[in-house]
Structure 1
Amino acid sequence: MFLQLKKTDIGYKTPLIKGVETSLKLGEVCLLIGNNGVGKTTLIKSILNQIPVLDGEIFLNKKNIKILSSKEIAEQVAIVFSKSQVPANYTLKDLISLGKYIHYPYYFELNDSDRQEVDEIIESLNLNQYKDFQLQKLSDGNLQKAFIGRALAQNSPFIILDEPTTHLDEENKIIILKLLRNLAKKQNKLILFSSHDWRLAKEFSDKIWLVNDGKLDAGITEEILLKHHEILSPRLFQVNENFIPPQIVGPDLEKEMLYSFLQKNFKKNLSHLKVEFKDVFWEVSNDYFQEKCASFEEIAHLIENHH
């Protein structure tokens, strides 16, 4: 596991979140949700060792954060804030290049390899046509992608984003969220991001950290949400054009969660399957088999083994 919190109390003088016991690995996307004031930002600052934990320990790449310097943490973790200050007179390429300077004193110049990597990041974000634009002339969506590009230029295995889709329309939110998921899966990065627009964001996250009543509930996105009916009202988002769902039979909430989970993990036609909720298990069937599954992971494993 790349990030581990062991019996951790998070807060200032008194705990906001008590007894956190959870972990995340490279390649995972984790969505951090909770009401305002419950301690989400404090939790992020604690992971960065900007605020000392009140009790317990936090490990980053198997090292206790207490023994890591600020530079060592910056090499492991890149940060993207929702309201980042936009530097005056900087172009998009200038901003992304800034990510390289955590590796050098400020007076160094980037070498050819660095500049090539910055160009490749700009290309991968589909920002080539804007690379010489002043930051003030970029749309909100492209500006946010530029700040993500700066984080990528750090070459850190772990990226934390605070409300990365704030003030974006739904189309640009989906673009950013798809980008984050692709980064995690294709470049094996750990992504932890907070969002108030979690109903859409859940479609792209593997795990959820839900801060509620002074505790952190962590696990597979859909299974955490199924445990918390009080924050849900069913709604389906179609964000994966290559996904054709199976026939899903069950209550609206369970159907939504299964649809969300399958859409993230299977970019193919599953219409030959029927998946029915039977109160304590899911029954998965087609013309050739009928199996009982106790969890979403078991359903995914079954689908993989029958294809």
Structure 2
Amino acid sequence: MHLHIKQANIGYTKTLISNINTGLNLGEVCLLIGNNGVGKTTLIKSILHQIPLLNGEILINGKNVKEFSVKEIAEQVSIVFSKSIIPQNYTVEDLISLGKYIYYPFYFELKKQDRNEVLHIIEELDLLQYKNTLVKNLSDGNLQKAFIGRALAQNSPIIILDEPTTHLDEKNKIVILKTLRRLAKEQNKLLLFSSHDWRLAKEFADKIWYVKDSHLYSGIVEDVLLQHDELTNPSLFQINEKFVSPTIIAPDFYKEMLYSLLQKNFQKDLSDLKFEFKINIWEISLNNKSHNCESFEEILKTIQNIH
């Protein structure tokens, strides 16, 4: 695990989340979810070592965060908060370029390679037409993309976003999260983002960290959601045009869960597969052979082995 939390209690004088044992690998996208005041932001600040743990340890690439300098933390983790100070006289290019200055004294000129990387990020986020626009004049959606661009420019293996879709409409939420998921996979980044909207997990996340009653529940999104009825309110987005669905025989909610899982993880034709839900067991059929799975995590591993 690239990010590993071991037997950790987090909080200030009072424990907000106790005995956290979880972790994430590079290339994974994780949604951190829970009600206001349960400790989501406190957990993020603990990972950044801005708040000391009450117990346990947090490791990044095998090293305890307590042993990192501020500069080393910035090299390992980039952060985007929901509320950020908007520089009044900075253009989009200026703001995104700030991510590179963790490697230089601020008065240094960026190298040509750095400027090329900044330009590539601007293009990736579809901000080229706003390259020279003052960030104070951007829409909420484009402003959030610019701050995400600054985080990407840091070139850190971990990107954490605290409520990145707050104040955004549904269209911009989907655009930003699709872009982030693609970049996480293509660039092998570990992406952790918090939100109040659990539906985003079904379509965009691999793992979920759900904080409830001072405990953090973690695992494959679909497995965690099915274990907590209060989270589930079925809704389906179509986000993967290359995905061809297999035959799925199951109750509507389980069918939606499986559909979401498959289209997130497979950009190919799965129509030769048949899935049937039978008393808490998924039966997968291919070429007259069948495989039984008890969880969505097992389904992913099985498809990767047989298809």
For this structure pair, what is the TM-score category when the shorter chain's length is used for normalisation? over 0.9
Number of the residue aligned with 2:34: 34
Whether the 8 Å CA contact 1:226–1:253 is kept in 2: the answer is no
The residue type paired with residue 220 of structure 2 is: I
Q: Aligned with 1:237: secondary structure?
A: coil
Counterpart residue number, 1:124: 124
TM-score by length of structure 2 reads: 0.96
User: Structure 2: which 5+ runs fail to align?
Assistant: none
- Within a 5 Å distance, the mapping from 1:168-187 to structure 2 comes to 168-187=168-187
1:248 counterpart SS class: strand
How far the C-alpha of 1:117 sits from its partner, in A, is: 1.4
What is the rounded CA distance, in whole Å, between the counterparts of 2:293 and 2:202 in structure 1?
22
Q: In the alignment, which residue of structure 1 is the partner of 2:138?
A: 138
**Equivalent residue, structure 2, for 1:153:** 153
Moved more, 5-14 or 252-261: 252-261
Residue 178 of structure 1 aligns to a residue in which SS?
Answer: helix
| Change in CA separation of 1:276 and 1:165 when aligned onto 2, cut-off 3 Å | same
How far did 1:179 drift?
Answer: 1.0
Q: Deviations for 1:28-72, whole angstroms, at most 9, x for unmatched residues? A: 101000011100000000000000000001111111111111111
Pairwise mapping of residues 6-155 of structure 1 onto structure 2 (< 5 A)? 6-155=6-155
1:216-255, aligned counterparts within 5 Å? 216-255=216-255
Deviation at 1:154, TM superposition (A): 0.7
Query: In 2, Cα distance between the equivalents of 1:230 and 1:118?
Result: 42
- 1:89-135 Cα shifts (integer Å, max 9, x gaps): 11000000111111112221212221121111112222111100111
Secondary structure of 2:7's match? Answer: strand
CA distance in 2 between partners of 1:301 and 1:240 (Å): 20
Aligned residues between the structures: 307
Q: State the secondary structure of the residue aligned to 1:269.
A: coil
Q: CA RMSD in A?
A: 1.4
**SS at 1:282's partner residue?**
strand
Q: CA deviation at 1:288?
A: 2.8
- Seq. identity, %: 67
- 1:204 and 2:204 correspond: yes
- Separation (CA, whole Å) in 2 of partners of 1:174 and 1:195: 13
Answer whether contact 1:195 1:201 (CA < 8 A) is retained. Answer: no
Deviations 1:180-233 (A, max 9, x none): 111111001100000112213431111000000100001001101011012212
Q: Is the 8 A contact 1:9 1:17 kept in 2?
A: yes
Between the aligned partners of 1:32 and 1:47, the Cα distance in structure 2 is 13
Q: In structure 1, the residue corresponding to 2:199 is in which secondary structure?
A: helix
CA distance in 2, matches of 1:29, 1:286: 29
2:9, 2:20 within 8 Å by CA — same for their partners in 1? yes
SS of residue paired to 2:144: helix
Q: How many Å separate the matches in 1 of 2:13 and 2:251?
A: 44
- The offset of 1:167, in angstroms, is 1.5
Q: Distance in 2 between matches of 1:205 and 1:246?
A: 21
Deviation at 1:141, TM superposition (A): 1.5
Mapping 1:186-197, distance limit 5 Å: 186-197=186-197
Contact kept in structure 2, 1:27 and 1:187, CA below 8 Å = yes
Partner-residue secondary structure (3-state), 1:211:
strand
Query: What is the Cα deviation at residue 268 of structure 1?
Result: 2.1
**Structure 1 range deviating more: 31-40 or 192-201:** 192-201
